[in-house]
Amino acid sequence: MSSDKLNKNIIIICIDGARNDRVSKSLIFRNYLPGSVFFSQSITYAPYTNSAMFAVFSGTYGNRNGCNSYYASFDFKTKKFKTLTEYLHENNYYTCADVNSQIIIPKHGFEQFTVYDENEADLSERHTNLINHVKSISDERRNFFLYLHYESIHTGVLNSVLRGYTNFSKEYFENRKKNEEYYDQLFSKSEIYLKKILDKIKECDLTKNTIILILSDHGISVGEKFGERAYGAFCYDYTIKTFAYIIHLDVNPIEITQQVRTIDFMPTILDYLKIEQDKNYENPDGESLLLLMNRKLLQEKIAYSETGNPLEDKKPPKEPNTKSIRTSKWKLIINEYNDTKELYDLEHDPAEKNNLIGKQTDVEETLWKEFLRIQTGS
């Protein structure tokens, strides 16, 4: 391993529930991060937090790693899949996380793992204090990995939307403008938070030797599709098409419009640090993006997502029942709960309103084969 490469701290900041369309237009996100690599089509594995983040940390889809539903965090296959945190901890990184729940990310490999009350915590103050803490670790000539989970968008949606409406409350879906205004209020607070965190990182003089990954686990519905008042029921782009920034890698600033997957970031970080995959564990589904970030052409990878639509029930099912296969141009959705399929031309129909199933049979057949391949693990 290269000591120069390993001499990099890692900070991951997850802005829970940040929508791709808001980030793309945000002056804070776009103008405040001029030296970054921006992935404008980063596709999450699951449109809800725990399965999405277990996929990020393992570089592996939930249908392989065991965390494929709201209830499956404890089913993560620790003997088959090694997490980013474990790799870094084995390389003498101090590992620290601050989250709102014990089960939203894998705990394996963390030396410090703290949980806050999302209704009471001042996350800006809490997380700037943590940056001071890891700065002291860095001053002792030890690298650190810090994971920060910003939950306030989700908290607002939970208290005002998830607890106030059902997936079939007509009042919610008939007030799209009101829903968007409320979401934008929540999002603007995330902008203030992020600026404070990045300012603190600069103040602590950590920018030169720290790789920063800023991403979202999933988006939030503002009433686009009847049957989903927030997230977790469907696999439409407003929840599964997310974003990511990587800051301070040794590459020139660039916006990457090619589709990538959130499962690609774990192998990307390991590749940059020259940490080899542990042959005692199964290989991840994700692949390193370093060549793409260095303006080299890479073949676009199919993105797979899945979730459990609760339908009329209050709780989601224990197994996924709606799934999608996506390229940058096409998406095939498989609704197992009612045995239907949907096909969308994302280039000409980004809002996914015109179902082309049965009208583009060649595309449908190609995506169906990819779906079967991922389902069977072949």
pLDDT per residue as tens digits for the range 215-253 = 999 999 999 999 999 999 999 999 999 999 998 767 778
Does residue 260 sit in the same domain as residue 359?
no
Q: Which residues are registered as beta bridge partners of 100?
A: none
Structural domain includes residue 20: yes
Does residue 309 sit in the same domain as residue 282?
no
Structural domain includes residue 205: yes
Does residue 146 sit in the same domain as residue 210?
yes
Does residue 146 sit in the same domain as residue 282?
yes
Q: Give the H/E segment covering residue 333.
A: strand 330-335
CATH assignment at residue 344: 3.30.1120.10
Does residue 318 sit in the same domain as residue 350?
yes
pLDDT value of position 2: 42
Short-list 59, 98, 51, CA closest to 82: 59
Distance CA 57, CA 229 (A): 27
Does residue 82 sit in the same domain as residue 228?
yes
Alpha carbon distances (Å) from 14 to 29, 117, 153, 217, 325: 13, 17, 11, 7, 24
pLDDT value of position 1: 39
Does residue 47 sit in the same domain as residue 144?
yes
pLDDT value of position 252: 77
* Number of domains into which the chain is organized: 2
Q: Give the H/E segment covering residue 97.
A: strand 94-99
Does residue 130 sit in the same domain as residue 230?
yes
Does residue 17 sit in the same domain as residue 105?
yes
Alpha carbon distances (Å) from 29 to 130, 198, 230: 22, 11, 23
214 three-class SS:
strand
Look-up of token digits 């686009």: 224
Does residue 219 sit in the same domain as residue 100?
yes
pLDDT value of position 146: 98
Q: Give me the domain span that covers residue 244.
A: 3-293
Structural domain includes residue 298: no
Give the end-to-end CA distance of the chain in Å, rounded to a whole number: 31
Which of 239, 272, 293 terminates a domain? The answer is 293
pLDDT value of position 295: 83
Distance CA 244, CA 40 (A): 7
pLDDT at 5 over 80: no
Does residue 259 sit in the same domain as residue 367?
no
Distance CA 150, CA 360 (A): 41
What count of other Cβ atoms lies within 10 Å of the Cβ of residue 208? Answer: 8
Token pair recorded at residue 214: 């800023």
CATH assignment at residue 165: 3.40.720.10
Give mean pLDDT, residues 49-62.
Answer: 97
Give mean pLDDT, residues 170-188.
Answer: 95
Which of 293, 327, 350 terminates a domain? The answer is 293
Short-list 375, 28, 56, 79, CA closest to 191: 28
Structural domain includes residue 19: yes
Residue 47 main-chain phi, psi, to 5 deg: -85, 40
Structural domain includes residue 62: yes
pLDDT at 344 over 80: yes
Does residue 180 sit in the same domain as residue 322?
no
Which of 246, 265, 293 terminates a domain? The answer is 293
- What's the whole-model pTM score? 0.95
Structural domain includes residue 125: yes
pLDDT value of position 112: 97
Could you tell me the pLDDT band of residue 274, with boundaries at 50, 70 and 90? very high
